[in-house]
């Protein structure tokens, strides 16, 4: 009885370890949105908005990222 319990417990532990390792080795997800970010604005909800970043794309590759301070 003790031997069967030990054997089944060992098998369960190995299956659990295998499942954890198998699920943790998944490929990273690729973020591929339909619309790409072009401009990011900063400011308060009620106040004026200032351009903070402007992104330039070439197909699916980011070519340029311009940073602005206070909208200039």
Q: What is the pLDDT of residues 32-43, one digit of tens each?
A: 667 888 999 888
Would you put residue 43 in left (φ > 0), alpha (ψ -120 to 50) or beta?
Answer: left
> Using one digit for the tens of pLDDT, what is the confidence trace for 13-71?
888 888 777 776 656 666 666 788 899 988 888 888 888 999 998 887 889 999 987 64
| Dist. CA 41–CA 30, nearest whole Å | 25
In this structure, what token pair is assigned to residue 30?
A: 């690729």
Domain spans in the chain, listed from the N-terminal domain onward:
36-72
Cα dihedral: 42, 44, 46, 50 (round 10):
-30
Q: Which helix (H) or strand (E) holds 17?
A: helix 2-24
Tell if the pTM clears 0.75, that is, is over it.
Answer: no
């Amino acid at each position: 009885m003790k031997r069967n319990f030990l054997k089944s417990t060992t098998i369960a532990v190995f299956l659990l370890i295998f499942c954890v390792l198998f699920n943790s080795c998944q490929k990273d997800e690729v973020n591929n949105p339909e619309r790409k970010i072009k401009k990011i604005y900063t400011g308060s909800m009620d106040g004026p908005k200032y351009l903070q970043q402007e992104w330039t794309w070439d197909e699916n590759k980011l070519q340029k990222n311009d940073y602005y301070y206070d909208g200039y």
